Amino acid sequence: MNEVNKVVLAYSGGLDTSVILKWLQDTYECEIVTFTADLGQGEELEPARVKALQFGIKPENIFIDDLREEFVRDFVFPMFRCNAVYEGEYLLGTSIARPLIAKRQIEIAKLSGADTVSHGATGKGNDQVRFELGYYALEPGIKVIAPWREWDLLSREKLLAYAEKHGIPVEMKHKQGGAPYSMDANLLHISFEGRHLENPNAMAEESMWRWTVSPESAPDHAEFIEVEFMHGDPVAVNGEKLKPHDLLAKLNALGGKHGIGRLDLVENRYVGMKSRGCYETPGGSILLKAHRGIESITLDREVAHLKDDLMPRYASLIYNGYWWAPERVALQTLIDFTQRTVNGVVKLKLYKGSVNVVSRDSKDTLFDQNIATFDDDGGAYNQADAGGFIKLNALRMRIAEIAKRKRS
């Protein structure tokens, strides 16, 4: 076992990371620094400080950081400039949070003189890859402890028994059976996995959803909203300028009210297995539709199509944990270049689980009504030109058909 001096633990204060904290103290006999990130998960984080103190963690070794603004501004918004969607549906809510957590963990390690970092991701999931690729990209010589790959506490029952044996405080909900799902939340989404959902043939229960009403229970009247963009990023909702994290929170509230953003998905994990998860991404679902709406009038056709070609690759890089890799950075540079003219206002209709663009306007629009009109265009477009264009594009097919007939 490698000698460990001081370790920075990504610490939520929940059952898993509380057990990990005690296990690290007993197994490695090292000094512990706890790091709790506020990414807008909507939970009270001060109890994590209290628990850490109960474990004997020095006050100066307890970090609880508000990262909401950085998360949305520097991670969520750049991802949405690409319209990134994994496997056609998933808006990457968990995936995009991991590189920021890894970044801040490494920063804290440097600040506190720690030689090691640790996380609570299991050996079956994607998060272990995302965290550790981030660690090594930002600090190549860092040591990593992944308890789930080392210990034998591989079930919830064993974790509870360990907690009871070592006097680790456990909330009553855990003792009485707990929530039937493993949940992860931040400002972009909340995810649900495990237990009941491990059977892909089992319907998710209505009581599971936290952020959205059911579409059937949503208001019987539509609501119209406007989202303003500047250089590809949303800057205002209904004319009100907002900071990035406040803007996303507002879109979450609007989407949740109208039952927008629910997803039940079987996805392909990077480690090789299929996994079933349910997600609520109300604000992100609105943002994706709005961004594509403003791009539809401000992006050149071939640029838009190139972005669409690159998007699945970009989304996979984020899903698999390669945010800090040079290929993602290179793609981001190209994507950001395309967003210089993505400015303007999109109007959307929210109604019973659906979000649709109803109008879009921009000073940088490429839509020319004089050319596109079905009425008299005054000579702006010569329809006769289309004949030669079509013949030239048909030339290779005509040649191939003539050659085929000669052979028969």
Assign 351 to helix, strand or coil.
strand
Question: With the CA atoms of 65, 85, 212 and 268 taken in that order, what torsion angle do they form, in degrees rounded to the nearest 10?
Answer: -90
C-alpha–C-alpha distance, residues 377 and 373, integer Å: 7
Q: How many CA atoms lie within 13 A of 40 on its CB side?
A: 24
pLDDT at res. 88: 97
Instruction: Pick one of 3.90.110.10, 3.40.50.720, 3.40.50.620, 3.50.50.60 as the CATH number of 6-67+93-178.
Output: 3.40.50.620
> What CATH number is given for 185-299+342-361 in this structure?
3.90.1260.10
Which of 339, 239, 348 has its CA nearest to residue 293?
A: 348
Phi first, then psi, for residue 278 (nearest 5°) are -120, 145
Radius of gyration of the CA atoms of the chain, in A: 25
Distances (CA, A) of 123 to 31, 192, 196, 199: 24, 18, 21, 20
User: If you average pLDDT over each of 153-157, 161-165, 173-177, 383-387, which comes out highest?
Assistant: 383-387
Beta strands in 39-113 (DSSP E): 62-66
DSSP 180-241: SSEEEE-SS-EEEESGGGGSTTSPPPGGG-SS---GGGS-SS-EEEEEEEETTEEEEETTEE
pLDDT in tens, 132-143: 999 999 999 999
| Number of CB atoms found within 10 A of residue 183's CB | 14
Told to judge if 98 belongs to the known catalytic residues of this protein, a careful annotator would answer yes
C-alpha–C-alpha distance, residues 275 and 169, integer Å: 31
pLDDT at res. 179: 57
Spot the catalytic one: 68, 95, 127, 130. Answer: 127
pLDDT in tens, 75-127: 999 999 999 999 999 999 999 999 999 999 999 999 999 999 999 999 999 99
- What percent of the chain lies above the pLDDT cut of 70? 97
Mean pLDDT of 294-318: 98
pLDDT at res. 15: 87
Q: Are 8 and 109 in contact (CB under 8 A)?
A: yes
pLDDT in tens, 227-270: 999 999 999 999 999 999 999 999 999 999 999 999 999 999 99
Told to judge if 182 belongs to the known catalytic residues of this protein, a careful annotator would answer yes
| Number of CB atoms found within 10 A of residue 256's CB | 20
Spot the catalytic one: 81, 98, 276, 360. Answer: 98
Domain coordinates of the chain in residue numbers?
A: 6-67+93-178, 185-299+342-361, 369-407
Distances (CA, A) of 260 to 41, 238, 255, 256, 392: 18, 18, 5, 6, 46
pLDDT at res. 180: 64
What are the residues whose beta carbons fall under 8 Å from the beta carbon of 373, sequence distance 6 or more? none
Question: With the CA atoms of 305, 309, 310 and 316 taken in that order, what torsion angle do they form, in degrees rounded to the nearest 10?
Answer: 140
Residue-averaged pLDDT of the chain:
95
Told to judge if 38 belongs to the known catalytic residues of this protein, a careful annotator would answer no
What angle is formed at CA 153 by the lines to CA 147 and CA 158, rounded to 5 degrees? 145
Spot the catalytic one: 65, 74, 156, 182. Answer: 182
pLDDT at res. 168: 87
Asked if the model's pLDDT at residue 281 lies above 60, the reply is: yes
